[in-house]
Every structure is written in structure tokens, then in C-alpha cells.
A and B are shown apart, each in its own frame.
Chain A
Amino acid sequence: MSPLSTPGPPEPALDADEIQGDSLAGFRKNHQYFLFFTIGDVPAFRRLLADLASELATLREVAEFNNLYRLVRNRRGAHRTGLSAVWKNIAFTARGLGLLTSEAAVNAFDDTAFTIGLAPRAGLLGDLPPDGGNDPTVDWKFGGTSRPVDGMLTIAADDPNALERAALETEQAWSRGGVVKVWAETCHVRPDLPGHEHFGFRDSISQPGIRGRIDRRPDNYISPRYFDVSDLRATRYARPGQRLIWPGEFILGLPRQQLPPADDLQPGTSHLSGPRWARNGSYVVIRRLTQDVAAFRAFNAAASTALLAAGANLTADRVAALIVGRWPSGAPLVRSPTTDEPSLGADDFAANDFGYESAWLDAAYTDPPVLDPKVELPPNVARIDQFPPGVPDDAGVICPHSSHLRKVNPRDQTTDQGGPDNTLHRRILRRGIPFGDPYSEASASQDRGLMFVSYQASIVDQFEFLMTSWVNSAVNPPGPPGGMDILIGGKPLAARTLVLSNENGDPYEVPIHQVATRPWVTATGGGYFFAPSISTITHLLAKTP
């Protein structure tokens, strides 16, 4: 594939050999291993780190591999690429960085969430303690107050056997180097439904586009461009539905997105919210979210019955889709309001090209996108989007304001933060992957869920903002009749209510505690980490002071 030149602004060539690759490019592997550890012997760990530094996957490597993969896949098909890689990245908690640098250095990070750590802030996110306790993290497998971690090593691979070998070698070598394993988990894309999480919904369709290039080649963008230059969206979108955001929203020390009335086509200031060596690093949020599939399905069925009694005839599947904002295929409700449309869900472009106040994500654009005829498209993507355009749904009748989708990405909606461009400061890069086997009735009690992973330039202003100000808010982002995000939101069951609107805008409310016996998403581990640049690892963290 040869991405086109666009009429957009000049975009900087990023330090692609400095930035760890999972953040901006994404590993995109079907198999991933996570090792959460503490550092028992600092000098020995520095030696391990010195060896590891050359093995860490850089932005350049991962992005170029992804480009190559796209090229080969488009000609041969996804199952015949013959390409395989093993990637490693590493990140540290404030506690871990403190061991390798100093308390003063860690305190130079201007992100309270990071310096304090996730465990004391779990309650803020709505995580609930077991009955009779105060600590929501007491039973966490890693990262809770009783099981703190210093760092996280991730290994990702196309080949599960290669991953297993790499993980085993690492664990053996690291245990000899004084590293104590707190928790390790190997995660896999669902073999039965690739790309879907355990509740059955296709995940990670909507990701921000990133401004910036991998190198000096003018068209070697981190986020490939697909629009024809005749389409005005070419300056602001990488592909339909994917708004371009300046990289400083995800990587420290790089140009940030400017808010109106400043020109968003121009780079904003490069704010470095940490010590100098934090440049080209990124905050990583890990949340091990255990999913109780049976509880979720039981709620949907019970809510369907309760809604019928209230005069709303909605199937359990429809209730689930209203909670999520998409159908299981990934088809967005606003483009397919009453039934799932698998071909729409499979089209990565069409499934992400919609707004809530306007059809095409931005009121300025009134026509379907025009793609460059010379650019090869991903599988299942139609060159001409012939699906019904999104139906403006300001009232939240088709897709409730309380749906997960609207809560975490209000798109073209005005929010309590101002116009939709303000939301661009809240976007995160999601790199999660399921853990555990797919659900079956026989395996209902097995532990399964999502290893949520996000990258951002501020945990407080991005991940935590989304959780505390929108997901767990009954009133924001605004829209009648309000309601929390009950898919992932915290709060006790007794405080949760499913809130929907009928065609007249009248609310249907289903108090969840009346029809649910237990929560369906529970945090069982996690941490706030920082993924430093390669040179910081080499020249600072791996070196004896």
C-alpha cells in the first residue's frame, strides 16, 4: 500500500527509534503475555534492563511491520501473510521508577494519579470493596495495596508458541536477576470471534488517528491516510470516522492538540508534564477487568422482561446493544437502529463513521466519504459507503446517552467540556486484549475478561476523567434522560439504573438491583505505569548512578 499525500499540515517525523511501539502503532498481535513484577535487586535488575533495551520494540519497528503486514495481507489474505514477530515493551509504576531513579524524580511527574498509583484511586473509579472492607483492591491479583508492582513487561506475538518460548525464557532469566513475579497472564484474541470481547461485542473499532510520521518520507504516516484530496475531511481525518489528533495527547513532550479558536491543523505546544527524561514516554493504564458473562446475559434478559412490563418491547439482545451502543458485530446503533448488520460491523470504516448530532461525525460534512481510488482498503471495507447514514440522535432515543459508546467518546456532541473538539483532549489509545477462554455454560465460572490497556499523556485528564466525570456520572456527557454507563461503571448495584428513552423522549428506567444479582464487570488487578523512551531506559534506568 502506498498511502497518499494529503493536503493537511506538515506533520513531524517522530522519534520513532525512541518511542516504545505499542503506544502509537499498537502491537496488534493475537497473543500477548503480561508480567507484573517487583524489583528485588536493583543492580541486578539494571543489568537485565540493559540487555532488554535492545530487544524492546520501537515505534519504527512496529509501525513498519504493520505497514508490511497490511501490504502482504491485501495481496495474499490475512491467513497467508507468513509474517511473524515477537515484540516486547516495558513500563514502570511510580514505585518502580522511584527505585531506579529517586523520589524527587518521580515527584516531578505532574500526574497525581501516576505518582499516587492506581490502588489508592480505585475507589475514585468506582471499584467496590468486598463486603465489610474498605479496600477495593484487597483481592486483586496484582497492583492492589497488598500486591504492589514495580513494573510490567509485555510480550506480544503472532505465534502462540513463539510467545510461550519468549515468556518462559524471560521468566527464567528474570527470576535469576532478582525479579519477583507478582502475576503473569497470557492473553489471546478470542479464537471463535477474533476482535470480540467476552460479552460478544466487537471491540477497539474506534481509535484516534495520530498525526506524525515514522520518518522523513512525506507519506509514511503513523496513521495511514485514505481520503481522496477532493474530500475536505482529508485534512482532519486519517480514514472515515478517525479524527487526527496531535501526538502530544498520547506521548509526553510532543505537540498537543489545540482547542478552538486555535487552528487544530497546527501543532500545539509541546508540554512535558514530567522530568526531562519523560519525553517520548507515555502513561499506561492497566485494568484487569473480569467479565461475568452469565450475569450480563441474565441482566439483559431480566431487563427485557421488566421493560416489556413498562411498555417497551426490547429483546435481550437489543437491551445489550443499547447498553453498549453497538451490536455484537460492531455495527453502531445510529446506523442500524433495530437489528444487527454484520456487514456494517465488519467494515472498519463505515462502523466508525457516524455522529450523534450529524450523520458523518461532523456537521461540516454532509456527504459520504470519498476515498482515494489508488489506495488499497482493509478487508471488508467498501470503497463507497452504501450503508444507511447515521440518524442524528441528539435525544438519545436510538443510542442512549448512557450507552458505553457515547459515554467514553461523545464524538460530535457538545459536552460539559464545550464543543466536540474539547473531547479530543480526552481520547485514549486502547490496546486491550481478552484473557480467559470464551464463555460457555459449562465454563461459566471460569475467570475471563479483558486486560484493558490504554496509553495517554495524562492519566488524570484522560483515563480518570472518562471514568469519573462521564462513565460514572448520571448527568454527563449531557443528554436526556442521563444515566450512568452501566456496562463498565462502578457504584454499587443498588445505585445503578438502566436509563433509556422511548420515541417521545420519555424515560424508561430499570433499577438494576431489581433484576441483577451481581456486577458483571469487576476489576481484579491493575496499575498506573509509565513506558519510558528507549534512551531513558538505556542511559538512565539501566545505568548505575
Chain B
Amino acid sequence: MEQWMPPGSADDLDQVPDGRTRWDIAMTEFFAAAVNRAQSVLPAGSHAQIVDAVHPSSTLTWSPAPIFWNGFPKVLLSKFPTVHQALVAAEKLIPFNLDGRSIKMRPQDEYLEWHTTTVQGKIKAVDFTCEGPEYWQALAHGYPDGVTPPAGAPQAAGNLDLVTALYRKFVDPAVQKSDLLDAAGHYDPWNQWNTAKGAMHLTHISNSLQAEVFLAGDATVLREKSGVVLIDADQLIRCAQYGVPERSSDPTIGSAVNGLARSGALVSLLNPVGLYIDSLDTTGWTKPDGSPVGDYWTIQRGTPDFILRARYEVPEHEGFTVSDIKIGGQPIAYAGQIAQKITMRLTGISADKNNHNTPPIACAAAASHALAVASTVPERVGSTRVPG
């Protein structure tokens, strides 16, 4: 039977008892919740257009609709008067109050986060990740936090040794298991090796797989204002409140998914669900001698079509560092300059077009059911995300 696969078809879960089954259960729960959210705002007799494309199995023919956006935080570019200030801000962890707990996270909120390794003031390497925290919680404890397995499902059991080994492989050999746990012995996504000292997976509270599935589900609900069906990405996201309007990703994803829904199709997300690094554009990047840069981009996790983690690092034999590379004549001083050239991707899928039309819903009716998403603006600390 088909299952929801782990992001990027990663095989780590093979080392966790019933790992793949549990991941499928978690994703199924995410989709069920997304369907319920959408259904709850629709009038009686209308069926939500967001569906779980895997369960139950069907003969529907799904068409992919890739959605792209830029990896550098748009909110920072909007917030700061100069690009330089935004690049500096992108590198600094920001405090956040998560349900009474003070955490530090990266301000990188486009489902792409990175950690910069510098040596003697020069950028040696930049690690980019787009893996959601849920996957790592599942590796650590069997299920993502907050997922309640149905009766009869495998009991939660993770593999913290595996998590530690992966951290040692990709972040730092010095990582100790205890470093990754909170006081209660639970895996801590905001541990030091995933914040100040490295980037194993996403940390921004808006950068979660569940949030993505909910956003897609909420966006399948057609919206109207004064009798006019909304198609404008900005109007849609403000009407439906399915994300942060100032980001690149949320309005773009929501608008694209809403477009699929407006075609009267059933809508879901491509299996394996994930927010992937699509590509890095190095057009116009030059070595110190003025010649074009080589391929210094190494995919470390995922596949070329579903990149989960990649490193940008100049091989030692080249004799220079990332900081010596120029982008259009400008030396790379911040990893954010690389992120500005990274395209992110999520793939929606649709099927059975024209046969699943639901009536548009007024904005006011939608608000009470909306996913409240915490502000991503750094200084506005104190608000707390309310999961759907």
C-alpha cells in the first residue's frame, strides 16, 4: 500500500522501528487536520477540495504544479532600509517566546535556513537546510511532537543515537546526545547545534511541514469580497489569513493552490511532501581570477530533484574561499547573498478538474478558523504561535 514518504525520500527512518509507517501516520494526520480546517469553513453540502492524495488509494490522475519562491527572507528586505542591513540581520538568531519558553531561532523564514562557517573571518562553507523539525522529532521519538497516533498504531519509539550520529555527520563530530535534549530528555529542535553552532533543520516557528500542509489546505477555500472571487495573492492571504503576507513563500504558495482550487480540482501535495531547495543560480559568479566559478554546491541530503540539504564550499585545491567569490563584482560577505540566488520549491498536485467546485467564502467567516501565524519580524518578540 502506498505511504506518505519521508521528505526527499530520506532513508533514515529505516533505522527507526516502524519509522516509515509512523511517518505515514503523521502525514495522514496532518492532511486529515487540513481537510477538517477547510471543511469547517465551507457550507453544508460542500466538500473540501484539499484531500489526502495517498489515503485512500484512488485511480485519480494527479498533475503536478510546482510553486517557486526565493530563499532569502523577504520580510527582512522589507523591514530594513538597505540590503546590507537585511543581510546582517539574517545571520543573527532572534529570541522568541514559544508557549512560555524562551528560544532562539533563525530569522530565515522562507523554509530555507543556513549556517555559516567562517575561518579567520572568511566564509569557508555555508550549510543550507529545508528540512522541517517534525521529521527530526519523528527520528528522535517516533512521531512529530503533537501527533497523537490512532489506536493500534505503533507506539512511539525513536532513535536518538541515530539523530546524534546525523548531527555528528552533518554539523559537528563533537555533538553529544545530551546536547540535543531539553531538561525533560526530549529532543530540542532549538538545541545549540541547530542554532548557534549549526543548522541541521529548520528552526523558525513558521517553517514547519505541518504549517505548510495547513496553508495548502486553507488555500483551497475560495474567497470572495463584495461578491468578487479573490485571485490576488495579497488579497487572498489577508482574507484567509493562511500565512504571513510579507513573506515570499506563503502568498505565493497560497495563491497557486487557490488557483488549482478555482479550477474545480481536488488538490493535494506531491509525495514526498516537502519544501525543497530547487536550484542555486551562479550565473555571473566569478573566481578571484575573473573566470566563472566551478560547481561548489554539494547536495548532502535528499536527491537532485528533492534537495533537503546542500553545502556551498570551495574545494581546498582551488586556493580561495567563498568570501573570495564575487557575485556580479560584489564579494560574498554574507551567506544571505547565496540564499538570494536559491530558488525554493513546493509541488502542489491537482486532479479531476472542473468537478469539485466549492462556493467562495467571505473573509469574515474565514478569520475565526484561520491559522494564526506568529510575526516573523524580529523585534516583535512575545507573540505565540497558535497551532491550528
For A120, give the chain B residue with the smallest CB separation.
B329
> Is A260 touching B252 in the complex (CB atoms < 8 A)?
no
A480 at the interface (CB under 8 A from B): yes
The secondary-structure label for the interface of chain B is: mixed
Whether the pair A123, B252 counts as a contact (CB closer than 8 A) is no
Q: Does residue B248 face the partner (Cβ distance < 8 Å to A)?
A: yes
Residue of A nearest to B250 (CB): A418
**Which of these, A112, A125, A420, contacts B232 with CB under 8 Å?**
A420
Q: Which residues of A contact B68 (CB under 8 A)?
A: 416, 475-476, 478
Cβ of B259: which chain A residues have Cβ within 8 Å of it? 394
The CB with the most chain B CB atoms within 10 A, among A117, A412, A419, A422, is that of A419
- In the assembled complex, which residues on chain B have CB atoms less than 8 Å from the CB atom of A120? 326, 328-329
Report the nearest B residue to A136, measured CB to CB: B284
Complex formed: what's the CA distance from A358 to B252 in Å? 18
Residue picked from A124, A460, A476, most chain B C-beta under 10 Å:
A124
Q: Point out the residues of chain B lying under 8 angstroms from A5, CB to CB.
A: none
Q: Which residue of B lies closest to A478 (CB)?
A: B68
Query: Do A121 and B328 touch (CB < 8 A)?
Result: yes
Establish whether residues A260 and B238, one from each chain, have CB atoms under 8 Å apart when the complex forms.
Answer: yes
Kindly identify, within residues 123 to 181 of chain A, every residue whose CB is under 8 Å from any CB belonging to chain B.
123-126, 134-135
Q: How far is the CA of A482 from the CA of B41 in the complex (A)?
A: 34
Residue of A nearest to B286 (CB): A123
Distance in Å: Cβ of A31 to nearest Cβ of chain B: 34
Let me know if A414 is at the binding interface, CB within 8 A: yes
Q: Which residues of B contact A261 (CB under 8 A)?
A: 234, 238, 245
Residue in contact with A414 in the complex, picked from B83, B233, B283, B284, CB distance below 8 Å: B233
From the candidates A124, A260, A364, A460, name the one contacting B284 in the complex (CB within 8 A).
A124
- Chain A residues within 8 Å of B66, by CB: 475
Q: How far is the CA of A397 from the CA of B326 in the complex (A)?
A: 39
Across the interface, do A110 and B328 meet the contact criterion of CB distance under 8 Å? no
| Inter-chain contact A480/B65, CB cutoff 8 Å | yes
Residues of chain B with a CB closer than 8 A to A473's CB: 343
Using a Cβ–Cβ cut-off of 8 Å, how many residues does chain B contribute to the interface with A? 43
Q: Does A522 contact B (CB under 8 A)?
A: no
From known contacts A134-B286, A363-B228, A419-B233, infer whether A478 and B291 are also in contact, taking CB-CB under 8 Å.
Answer: no
Instruction: Let me know if B291 and A472 touch, CB within 8 A.
Output: no
How many residue-residue contacts, CB under 8 A, span A and B? Answer: 112
Whether A123 lies near B234 (C-beta < 8 A) is: no
Given known A-B contacts A112-B83, A116-B328, A273-B82, A478 and B256 have beta carbons under 8 A apart: yes
Tell me whether B69 is interfacial, beta carbon within 8 Å: yes
Chain A: CB-nearest residue to B255: A414
**Contact between chains at B248 and A121 (CB < 8 Å):** no
Residues of chain A with a CB closer than 8 A to B84's CB: 110
Q: Is the CB of A363 within 8 A of B291?
A: no
CA of A273 to CA of B291, assembled, Å: 32
Report if A421-B228 is in contact (Cβ < 8 Å); known contacts: A475-B68, A478-B67. Answer: no
Residues from chain B with a CB closer than 8 A to the CB of A480 are: 65
Q: Is B152 at the interface (CB under 8 A from chain A)?
A: no
Q: Which residues of A contact B228 (CB under 8 A)?
A: 363-364
Tell me which residues across on chain A come within 8 A of B74, comparing CB atoms.
Answer: 417
Are A271 and B245 in contact (CB-based, < 8 A)? no
Q: How far is the CA of A467 from the CA of B289 in the complex (A)?
A: 25
B234-A418 in contact (CB<8A): yes
Chain B residues near A358 (CB-CB < 8 A):
231
Contact between A117 and B329 (Cβ–Cβ < 8 Å)? yes
A360 to chain B, nearest CB (A): 13
Nearest chain A CB to B239's CB is how many angstroms away?
11
A interface secondary structure, majority: loop
Point out the residues of chain B lying under 8 angstroms from A417, CB to CB: 74, 248
Closest to A392 in B: B231
B82 and A110 within 8 A (CB): yes
Q: Report Cα–Cα, A61/B297, bound state, in Å.
A: 54
Assess whether B81 is in contact with A271, with CB atoms less than 8 Å apart. yes
Verify if A25 is at the interface (C-beta below 8 Å from B): no
| Contact residues in B for A460 (Cβ distance below 8 Å) | 83
A-contact bits for B156-171, CB 8 A (1 contact / 0 none): 0000000000000000
Q: Does B327 belong to the interface (CB within 8 Å)?
A: yes
Q: What is the chain A residue whose CB lies nearest that of B232?
A: A419
- Which residues of chain B are near A491, meaning CB under 8 Å? 283
Which positions 332-378 of chain B face chain A at CB distance < 8 Å? 343
Q: Which of B251, B290, B291, B343 contacts A475 (CB 8 A)?
A: B343
Beta-carbon nearest neighbor of B326 in chain A? A120
* Closest Cβ–Cβ distance, residue A346 to chain B (whole Å): 31
**In contact, A422 and B234 (Cβ under 8 angstroms):** yes
Q: What's the Cα separation between A358 and B231 when bound, in Å? A: 10
Q: By the criterion CB–CB under 8 Å, are A357 and B327 in contact?
A: no
**A416 to B283 Cα, complex, angstroms:** 20
Q: Does B15 contact A (CB under 8 A)?
A: no
- B317 CB to closest chain A CB (Å) equals 20
> Is A81's beta carbon under 8 Å from chain B?
no
A392 to chain B, nearest CB (A): 10
Q: A383–B266 Cα gap in the complex (Å)? A: 44
Contact flags B221-239 to A (C-beta < 8 A → 1, else 0): 0000000100111111010
List the B side residues contacting A357 at CB < 8 Å. 231
Taken residue by residue from 49 to 87, chain A's Cβ proximity to chain B (1 for < 8 Å, 0 otherwise) reads as: 000000000000000000000000000000000000000
Within 8 A of B (CB), among A478-515: 478, 480, 490-491
Q: B70 in the interface, Cβ–Cβ < 8 Å? A: yes
Question: Which B residues are CB-close (under 8 A) to A271?
Answer: 81
Task: Tell me, rounded to whole Å, the shortest Cβ–Cβ distance linking B96 to chain A.
Answer: 24
Q: Which residue of B lies closest to A464 (CB)?
A: B328
Asked if B40 is at the interface of the complex by the 8 Å CB criterion, the answer is: no
Chain B residue numbers with a CB within 8 Å of A126 are 283-284
Q: How far is the CB of A115 from chain B (nearest CB, A)?
A: 9
Q: Which residue of B lies closest to A123 (CB)?
A: B284
- Pair B233/A418 contact, Cβ less than 8 Å: yes
* Nearest CB in chain A: distance from B274 CB, A: 17
> In the complex, what distance in Å separates the CA atom of A120 from the CA atom of B74?
26
- Looking at the complex, which one of A116, A135, A422 makes contact with B290 (CB distance below 8 Å)? A135
Cβ of A113 under 8 Å from chain B: yes
In the complex, what's the smallest C-beta–C-beta distance from A264 to chain B, in angstroms? 11
Q: Contact: A416 with B69, CB < 8 Å?
A: yes
Q: Tell me, rounded to whole Å, the shortest Cβ–Cβ distance linking B4 to chain A.
A: 25
Taking CB atoms, residues of chain B closer than 8 Å to A125 are 284
| Interface: A468 (CB within 8 A) | yes
What is the bound-complex CA distance between A516 and B148, given in angstroms?
59
Contact of B235 among A123, A134, A260, A490 (CB under 8 A): A260
Which partner residue on chain A sits nearest B259 by CB separation? A394
CB neighbors of B among A404-432 (8 A) = 412, 414-422
Residue B330, interface by CB 8 Å: yes
Q: Which of B233, B251, B283, B343 contacts A490 (CB 8 A)?
A: B283
Of the A-B pairs whose beta carbons lie under 8 Å apart in the complex, a sample of 21, sorted by A's number, is A121-B284, A121-B329, A123-B285, A123-B286, A123-B292, A124-B327, A134-B291, A260-B238, A363-B231, A363-B232, A412-B232, A414-B232, A414-B233, A414-B255, A418-B245, A419-B235, A468-B284, A475-B278, A476-B68, A480-B65, A490-B283
Which A residues have a C-beta under 8 Å from some C-beta of B? 110, 112-113, 116-117, 119-126, 134-135, 259-261, 271, 273, 357-358, 363-364, 394, 412, 414-422, 460, 464, 468-469, 472-473, 475-476, 478, 480, 490-491
User: Can you name 19 extra interface pairs (CB under 8 A) apart from A259-B78, A261-B234, A476-B343?
Assistant: A116-B329, A121-B284, A124-B328, A126-B284, A260-B238, A412-B232, A414-B231, A414-B255, A415-B252, A416-B70, A418-B234, A418-B245, A418-B248, A419-B251, A468-B284, A469-B70, A475-B278, A475-B343, A490-B283
The 5 closest A-B pairs by CB, nearest first: A120-B329, A124-B284, A419-B234, A124-B328, A123-B284
